[in-house]
Amino acid sequence: MEEALVENTVEKELLIKLRNGDEYAFDKLYQIYSLRIYRKLLKMVKVDVIAHELTQDVFVKVWTKRHLLDSNQSFRSYLFSIAQHLVYDTYRKISRDELLAKTVQLISTNAYTHTEEDIYYRETGEMIQKAIELLPPQQKRVFQACKIEGRSYDDIARELNISSSTVNNHIVKATKTVAEYLKKSGTLVFFVAISSAFLDK
């Protein structure tokens, strides 16, 4: 009971500081909640790269609207509410693209045949590798460690002596760079749909 009270008091103080533009408070709250939000989003959207980007979007909204924060309200509930609205917006966007919608649906329900998987993994995989080679050294290192080697954010952060939020920023920026490269090559739809399956292999 006392521990929970202390945690609530600390969180309230962080929210007050964040409302006043304190970046340290923002980073601290990000470290506390980002993984929880990511896991919640992953359960909802089923696609790793989308969950990561939406997690980043949640905290971007928190920062841009920090002056509206109410330190007396549950910050956890506030984050989940933002996350839920972002998921709804994402599904609306996907529904407008028939090909993307069908591809995401097939991947999430494991409806692809093995032959189709092999083709998409091979072709998209080659394009992803080319895109990765274009990343700045630190982004490339973080992206490969997380997505290719399957290492955790905390593990990467310790090795590179950076914060977990910095690791996440590298992942988000690298993902956007890769997505832009694949968009030009015409394979972006398949990257969005199968990235979690391919990159976790």
The pLDDT assigned to 194 comes to 40
The residue ranges of the chain whose pLDDT is under 50 are: 1-6, 107, 111-117, 119-121, 188-201
Q: Is 102 part of a structural domain of the chain? A: no
CATH number at residue 83: 1.10.1740.10
Instruction: Determine the pLDDT at residue 53.
Output: 80
Q: What is the pTM of this model?
A: 0.54
Classify residue 119: in a domain, yes or no: yes
Residue 111 pLDDT = 46
Print the domain residue range for 159: 108-199
| pLDDT confidence of residue 82 | 93
Q: Which of 55, 70, 95 is the last residue of a domain?
A: 95
Residue 100 lies in a domain: no
Residues 38 and 76 grouped into a single domain: yes
Q: What is the pLDDT of residue 50?
A: 78
Domain containing 149 — which CATH number?
A: 1.10.10.10
Domain boundary among 67, 95, 123: 95
Q: Can you give the C-alpha Rg of the chain in angstroms?
A: 18
> What pLDDT is recorded for position 13?
93
Q: In this predicted structure, what is the pLDDT of residue 185?
A: 65
| Exposure b/e, 120-138, CB count within 10 A at least 16 = b | bbeebeebbeebbeebeee
Among 95, 121, 148, residue at a domain's last position: 95
DSSP secondary structure of the chain: -HHHHHHHHHHHHHHHHHHTT-HHHHHHHHHHHHHHHHHHHHHHH--HHHHHHHHHHHHHHHHHTGGG--TTS-HHHHHHHHHHHHHHHHHHHHHH-HHHHHHHHHHHTT-S-HHHHHHHHHHHHHHHHHHHTTS-HHHHHHHIIIIIS---HHHHHHHHT--HHHHHHHHHHHHHHHHHHHHHHT-HHHHHHHHHHHHT-
